[in-house]
């Protein structure tokens, strides 16, 4: 592990403390999680890119082939007045 000293604006530090307490996390844990999440959005993960490049869609097709061609149960039906987004095919 490495130690890091960071200067934060007072309001950001106060909010971080508030979130850490509400989530029952140490400040170290909160900062580690927040930094890891931010970095995952900013830096492409080579493993995921490699897996995506190898993807053929066959696995998804095989999975979807197992879904029965049946109407959904009543509790899963969309309301009659449900509006779809215009660019979503039916």
Residue 25 placed within a domain = yes
- pTM of this structure: 0.50
Q: Provide the domain count of the chain.
A: 1
SS3 content of the chain, % helix, strand, coil (to 5): 55, 0, 45
Distance CA 51, CA 73 (A): 35
Would you write out the chain's pLDDT as a tens digit for each of its 90 residues? Answer: 899 999 999 999 999 999 999 999 999 999 999 999 998 888 877 877 888 888 888 888 899 999 988 988 999 988 888 887 776 565
Residue 68 placed within a domain = no
Residue 72 placed within a domain = no
Residue 82 placed within a domain = no
Residue 85 placed within a domain = no
Residue 65 placed within a domain = no
Domain carrying residue 19 = 10-42
> Half-sphere exposure of 21 toward its Cβ, with a 13 Å CA cutoff?
6
């Amino acid at each position: 592990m490495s130690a890091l000293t960071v200067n934060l604006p007072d309001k950001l530090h106060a909010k971080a403390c508030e979130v850490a307490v509400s989530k029952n996390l140490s400040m170290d844990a909160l900062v580690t999680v927040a930094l890891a999440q931010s970095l995952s959005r900013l830096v492409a993960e080579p493993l995921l890119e490699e897996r995506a490049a190898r993807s053929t869609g066959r696995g998804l097709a095989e999975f979807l082939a197992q879904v029965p061609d049946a109407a959904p149960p009543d509790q899963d039906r969309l309301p009659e007045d449900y509006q779809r987004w215009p660019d979503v095919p039916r």
